[in-house]
Chain A
Amino acid sequence: MKVSLKWLAEYVDLVLPVKELAHLLTMSGTEVGGIQERGNGWTGIVVARVEALARHPTAESLTLATVGLPGERVTVVTGAPNLRVGNKVPYAPVGGRLTDAHTGKEAVVEVANVRGVESRGVLCSEKELGLSEAHEGVLILPAEARVGQPLAAVLGDTVLDLEITPNRPDCLGVLGVAREVAALTEQRLRVPDLAYQEAGPDVRGLAQVEILVPGLCPRYSASVIQGVAVGPSPSWLQARLAAAGVRPINNIVDITNYVMLEYGQPLHAFDYDALLGRRIVVRQFTSGESLRTLDGIVRPLEPGMLVIADAERPAALAGIMGGSETEVTGRTTNVLLESANFDPVSIRRSCRALRLRTEASSRFDKGLSPAITTLALRRATKLIVESCGGRAAHGVLDVYPLPRDPIELRLTPVELRRVLGIELTPAETRSVLSRLGCVCREDGRALLVTSPEHRSDIRIPADLVEEVARLIGYDRIPETTMAGHLPEHAPQPMRGLIERLKDLLSGCGLQEVITYSLVGRLLLGKTHPEAEPGPIDALRLANPMTPDQEMLRTSLLPSLLECVATNLRPDEPGLCLFEIGCVYLPREAELPEEREILVMAMAGPRWQRQWNEAPAELDFYDLKGAVEEVLARLNLQGTRFNRIAEQGLFHPGRTAAIDWKDVRLGLMGELHPAVARNCEIRVPVFLAEFDLEQLLNAVGVDFLRIEPPPRFPAVRRDLALVVEERVPASELLEVIRQAGAPLLAGVELFDLFRGHGLPPGHKSCGVALIFRSPERTLTDAEVADIEAHILEQLGAVIGARLRG
């Protein structure tokens, strides 16, 4: 909310420099988002009076305006269509500074020759003064402005941009902010005078008010003013509204808006003569009715929505917008002014259903205090009587079926210390609360506090504790270290595993990415081998922001692939990526299962082109190596990679299931070429996916036994073994391991050869056998015995033999 300091100063003496005031407000909960000094840059700009207007001799759209200044007259060429003789206008002389309306930059006024006529100076628009974006005409100043007066003295102001939190609807008016300033700076508040001449007949004879649903309308106050002259507002009022960003309409409507900005209480003016039966009935909308609102739209109201009706039909959407049938127009002479209080929940629901929010509704839906309806009503009635002519009826109508009893809250020094950690005397507490308008009674060391009726947010003692804290200032509260016992913390094994995995994976050269949890159908289609995801069982958003974020993912691979696709660039190192995150699996009438998943991807050059390495591409075995390393570091002994076919977006011939005991930990393999094409990826991509729930079950099962460093030397024997292609390497190694136990300490496959010199359908595997005994140095004869046994088993089990 924008608050003019000039306006604010009508209600409270501003005793602090503006920066200090802004600081105090910010610290106490009303954040000042910005301070706008209006008029700072108005160098040389003064008030001038339009003395004569003439058409430009050659240009039809231009006007020669002769303006009067003290002791001189100047002629200015202007394109503004809105000038009248006698207007007071801002005049920037030659040498003056203003904002160029076209470039938006500061410019110095120079003598100009406009189509053959000399123009000395500029009559300024709001835009040229930096007030707003309006540039359709010259800004017309209030008639009271004196010719020659610096513009800054007329329009100069400081505007605070305040963030009012939802709990403080009382600050949605300048008066409320003034009350806050008064409390913070210990100044007296000056409330507006509400007395006016009640020259008309008794209001009770003019109209009746009836509330059929007191729960939705706790209070309805109204006044009637007869014989008003509807027309433009006085310029001071227009200026106030313009400063607050409200467009002037007519004097009656402007006054209701002005009082709303002042008191925070929205008002509505009805054309009294358009109200059938001279009755106001606050009731719920019933089907079969209709209402056209002020903006000319017939609103699809729903039964149950609160309306203000006359004797027969809805006349306004309560607290949101008036109806066009009863609106104040140029022909209106009698006005019924409404100042009511509505249930915030009802207002919110109607607004949501109608997708309509207004200045009024956004105040009512915060829960205004019913106490202020009559104050705002009298204020507006007074202003109408004073500036629109007309006679106010005697008295006001005020239906207040459920007046709220003030509550008395008990606040003790013990409670203040318990929450704030600071000692305050009852006297100090009392003085602080009194500044806010609270009435305090002492009861021993305790205070019995009644909060002012405009503060409907103060309901429990904790609310008072906060008021005390923010008024004495949070700075006064010391900083201490928590005492007390440390709680016992439950172990978080999944969190531990995830953190460990992140370290291991980044250690293996993989870059972590974090993609969006929300995905769209388009992406799921692209990453499906058939380019069509089919029915997807996923949680969908009821209100998605964009189609590419419409549902919660059930796999991390599509998002990771997207990441691969966007990051594959020529001349950049290959991609080694991983992500750990949740998939969201729907369950019956429960929150979804949020399952932690690890995905990995590799693609592109193994390393950046460099002078001392031959170029190479990342392949299946780069990814497998990383997987093996991670699993080994997690001490998963005996994990197996088994080739499987037909697994989603994986290549049917190049995919492995990763198993440990009888648990399937995950899958890894090459991306299906069809998916790669859909995603416009032109290099092979290798992917792995792990279910961390399964991994967590496997971790910590095997006992990790640490052996002393070996005391005796190892013996290494290299063998070249010829075996049929169909025998997987894992089987060959397993036969060797079993046959070589227990003295075979390790076996490594260090070479693989196919082709020349081998029988067709065979391969040659170079295998290193490492023999070692923990007790002695092995003899050649011992090693030869085991080796022979291994070869015999190799031949018997898988038909492998030494390469001749």
Chain B
Amino acid sequence: MEALRKELETLQAEALELVKKSVDAAQLEKVRVSFLGRKARLTAILRQLPTVPPEERPVVGQLANTVKRAIEEGIEARRAALGSIPSDEILRKDQIDVTLPGRRPSLGRLHPLTQIIREICGVFVEMGFAVMEGPEVEWDYYNFEALNIPEDHPARDMWDTFWIDPASARTSTPMLLRTHTSPMQIRIMEQTRPPVRVVVPGKCYRYEAVDASHESQFDQVEGLAVDEQITFADLKGTLHTFARRLFGKDRKTRFRCDYFPFVEPGVDMSIDCFLCKGTGCRLCKDTGWLEILGAGMVHPNVLARVGYDPARYTGFAFGLGPARVAMLKYGIEDIRFFHGNDLRFLRQFP
């Protein structure tokens, strides 16, 4: 009995295998005849049924019928399939030119500055910073005065300013196009209490002769973190993390002393030149370092100005230019391309 069952199962497997391998109706017919025809083994088994002990007869009979049906269905399915699809031999001759150009969906693109600003802000957002924006037309007070740069301060020379004509502004209070995003430090601190962690992207303007590395309109991303117990070491740690995230994990950073009136100590952060790996090249002007951002610990005068107790709170601020980052990243040699909006330039970006 057990032997018979085995034999039936083997029979079915063999038959279905041959069915699968058949490529046309003739081969299929051969398979049918050899497995289900009058001289076939299965037919023989069914014929022998009367010789099987009566108690086993229904089981064997049922099994044999199941196998018969499975093979019949297999042949039918294969026959149907073969009927609609030509053989691979024929299909092989039915070729297309796979090298013809494809029909590309017309995807648009974000401006490279948008892309790089998103990337920059994204890194800080993951470190718990919020993204905020502020006015591009500003009062002198926010752009300079409150940032520890009073009128006639020598440091004002660092920012050549576009002033708004007072008649068109309908006020005699000095109004200007912000020269940096730093006024938002003041606006944010005026509106919130510590802890503060914010990045501020935005457009800035400088009264500057335009050349390959200077634009009268440019973008900046400002950052500000104020709390109890924020130290210079936190500034270094945060900005180093940022540099690695943006420029690669092996990036080295260099922090050196620099002067901005609204921070103290003031910092200039460079990364090691990713083109020459720090040995010196044209990109880094043979210094091995690329200046990326200005930063520093928020000046006590600035904190006091917005009503934060400088004895209790400390913080750091930083500012960087996305265009410079993009220029370094893509080897772009002229900053004017960004607002030139020549599509032959813009279309090259990812």
- Supposing A421-B231, A514-B113, A588-B170 touch, asked if A541 and B136 sit within 8 A by C-beta, the answer is no
The smallest C-beta distance from A556 to any residue of chain B, in angstroms, reads 12
* B197 and A506 within 8 A (CB): no
- Supposing A482-B230, A539-B137 touch, asked if A512 and B107 sit within 8 A by C-beta, the answer is no
Which chain B residues (251-294) contact chain A, with CB distance < 8 Å? Answer: 254-259, 261, 264-268
* B110 and A492 within 8 A (CB): no
A290 adjacent to chain B (CB < 8 Å): no
Q: Which residues of A contact B225 (CB under 8 A)?
A: 482
Binds B, one of A77-85, A188-196, A342-350, A725-733: A342-350
* A480 and B256 within 8 A (CB): no
- B164's partner among A422, A513, A540 (CB-CB below 8 A) is A540
Counting chain B CB atoms within 10 Å of each CB, the highest count among A485, A563, A566, A591 belongs to A591
- Supposing A26-B256, A166-B157, A421-B233 touch, asked if A487 and B130 sit within 8 A by C-beta, the answer is yes
- Nearest neighbor of B263 in chain A, beta-carbon distance: A466
- A462's partner among B139, B168, B300 (CB-CB below 8 A) is B300
Which chain B residues (159-200) contact chain A, with CB distance < 8 Å? Answer: 162-171, 173, 175, 177, 192, 194-197
Q: Which residues of A contact B163 (CB under 8 A)?
A: 541-543
The smallest C-beta distance from B332 to any residue of chain A, in angstroms, reads 15
* B236 and A511 within 8 A (CB): no
Binds A, one of B8-16, B58-66, B68-76, B341-349: B341-349
- Nearest neighbor of A541 in chain B, beta-carbon distance: B162
A516 adjacent to chain B (CB < 8 Å): yes
Bound CA–CA A312/B72 (angstroms)? 129
* A484 and B230 within 8 A (CB): yes
Mark each residue of chain A from 477 to 489: 1 if its CB lies under 8 Å from any CB of chain B, else 0: 1111111111101
* A484 and B297 within 8 A (CB): no
* B106 and A576 within 8 A (CB): yes
Q: Which residues of B contact A551 (CB under 8 A)?
A: 168
* A480 and B264 within 8 A (CB): no
The smallest C-beta distance from B28 to any residue of chain A, in angstroms, reads 36
Bound CA–CA A588/B343 (angstroms)? 39
- Supposing A487-B195, A515-B339 touch, asked if A594 and B136 sit within 8 A by C-beta, the answer is yes
Q: Which residues of A contact B213 (CB under 8 A)?
A: none
Q: Which residues of B contact A610 (CB under 8 A)?
A: 101, 103
The smallest C-beta distance from B102 to any residue of chain A, in angstroms, reads 9
A40 adjacent to chain B (CB < 8 Å): no
* A513 and B346 within 8 A (CB): yes
* B131 and A511 within 8 A (CB): no
Q: Which residues of B contact A594 (CB under 8 A)?
A: 135-137
B52 adjacent to chain A (CB < 8 Å): no
* A474 and B136 within 8 A (CB): no
* B170 and A421 within 8 A (CB): no
Bound CA–CA A595/B167 (angstroms)? 21
Which chain B residues (201-248) contact chain A, with CB distance < 8 Å? Answer: 203, 205, 207-210, 216-217, 225, 227-234, 236-238, 240-241
* B217 and A518 within 8 A (CB): yes
Bound CA–CA A278/B130 (angstroms)? 67
* A506 and B110 within 8 A (CB): yes
* B257 and A28 within 8 A (CB): yes
A509 adjacent to chain B (CB < 8 Å): yes
Bound CA–CA A514/B132 (angstroms)? 20
- Supposing A477-B236, A514-B341 touch, asked if A541 and B165 sit within 8 A by C-beta, the answer is yes
- B155's partner among A167, A513, A543, A590 (CB-CB below 8 A) is A167
A607 adjacent to chain B (CB < 8 Å): yes
| Total number of B residues with any Cβ neighbor in A under 8 Å | 94
* A542 and B342 within 8 A (CB): no
Bound CA–CA A518/B133 (angstroms)? 19
* A479 and B114 within 8 A (CB): no
A797 adjacent to chain B (CB < 8 Å): no
Q: Which residues of A contact B258 (CB under 8 A)?
A: 29, 31, 165
Which chain B residues (313-345) contact chain A, with CB distance < 8 Å? Answer: 314, 338-339, 341-343
* A418 and B229 within 8 A (CB): yes
A64 adjacent to chain B (CB < 8 Å): no
Bound CA–CA A566/B344 (angstroms)? 11
* B238 and A482 within 8 A (CB): yes
Bound CA–CA A513/B314 (angstroms)? 39
* A539 and B164 within 8 A (CB): yes
- Supposing A474-B256, A539-B137, A610-B103 touch, asked if A482 and B234 sit within 8 A by C-beta, the answer is yes
* A543 and B162 within 8 A (CB): yes
The smallest C-beta distance from A389 to any residue of chain B, in angstroms, reads 39
Q: Which residues of B contact A511 (CB under 8 A)?
A: 108-109, 343, 346-347
* A566 and B342 within 8 A (CB): yes
- Nearest neighbor of B226 in chain A, beta-carbon distance: A487
- A365's partner among B101, B107, B154 (CB-CB below 8 A) is B154
The B interface, classified by DSSP as helix, strand, loop or mixed, is: mixed
* A540 and B108 within 8 A (CB): no
Q: Which residues of B contact A479 (CB under 8 A)?
A: 233, 236-237, 240
* B341 and A591 within 8 A (CB): no
* A589 and B234 within 8 A (CB): no
A285 adjacent to chain B (CB < 8 Å): no
Q: Which residues of A contact B138 (CB under 8 A)?
A: 591
Q: Which residues of A contact B342 (CB under 8 A)?
A: 566-567
- Nearest neighbor of B109 in chain A, beta-carbon distance: A511
Bound CA–CA A541/B140 (angstroms)? 14
Q: Which residues of B contact A420 (CB under 8 A)?
A: 231-233, 265
Bound CA–CA A367/B153 (angstroms)? 9
* B238 and A539 within 8 A (CB): no
Bound CA–CA A477/B169 (angstroms)? 47
* A512 and B230 within 8 A (CB): no
* A480 and B257 within 8 A (CB): no
A517 adjacent to chain B (CB < 8 Å): yes
* A540 and B165 within 8 A (CB): yes
Bound CA–CA A313/B165 (angstroms)? 38
Q: Which residues of B contact A495 (CB under 8 A)?
A: 131-133
* A29 and B157 within 8 A (CB): no
* A514 and B338 within 8 A (CB): yes
Q: Which residues of A contact B152 (CB under 8 A)?
A: 344-345, 348-349
Mark each residue of chain B from 305 to 317: 1 if its CB lies under 8 Å from any CB of chain A, else 0: 0000000001000
B100 adjacent to chain A (CB < 8 Å): yes
Bound CA–CA A63/B136 (angstroms)? 65
B128 adjacent to chain A (CB < 8 Å): yes
B111 adjacent to chain A (CB < 8 Å): yes
The smallest C-beta distance from A182 to any residue of chain B, in angstroms, reads 17
The smallest C-beta distance from A433 to any residue of chain B, in angstroms, reads 14
The smallest C-beta distance from A349 to any residue of chain B, in angstroms, reads 6
- Nearest neighbor of B113 in chain A, beta-carbon distance: A514
Which chain A residues (543-587) contact chain B, with CB distance < 8 Å? Answer: 543-545, 549, 551-552, 563, 566-567, 572, 575-576, 578, 582, 584, 586-587
Which chain A residues (571-628) contact chain B, with CB distance < 8 Å? Answer: 572, 575-576, 578, 582, 584, 586-592, 594, 607, 610-613
- Nearest neighbor of B216 in chain A, beta-carbon distance: A545
The smallest C-beta distance from B192 to any residue of chain A, in angstroms, reads 7
Q: Which residues of A contact B347 (CB under 8 A)?
A: 511
* B341 and A470 within 8 A (CB): no
* B257 and A545 within 8 A (CB): no
Q: Which residues of B contact A349 (CB under 8 A)?
A: 152
* B137 and A552 within 8 A (CB): yes
Q: Which 5 pairs from chain A and chain B are nearest by CB?
A: A421-B231, A421-B233, A29-B257, A165-B259, A506-B108
| Sample (15) of A-B pairs whose CB atoms are under 8 Å apart | A31-B268, A166-B157, A418-B231, A422-B233, A463-B264, A466-B257, A478-B237, A481-B238, A509-B107, A542-B166, A543-B163, A586-B169, A589-B173, A591-B135, A612-B100
Q: A169-B154, A543-B162, A545-B208 are in contact. List 17 more A-B contacts (CB 8 A).
A: A166-B153, A167-B155, A365-B154, A477-B255, A480-B237, A482-B127, A484-B228, A487-B130, A492-B132, A511-B109, A512-B108, A513-B346, A518-B205, A542-B166, A543-B163, A567-B343, A578-B108
Interface residues of B (CB under 8 A from A): 100-101, 103, 105-111, 113-114, 118, 127-128, 130-133, 135-139, 151-155, 157-158, 162-171, 173, 175, 177, 192, 194-197, 203, 205, 207-210, 216-217, 225, 227-234, 236-238, 240-241, 254-259, 261, 264-268, 297, 299-300, 314, 338-339, 341-343, 346-347
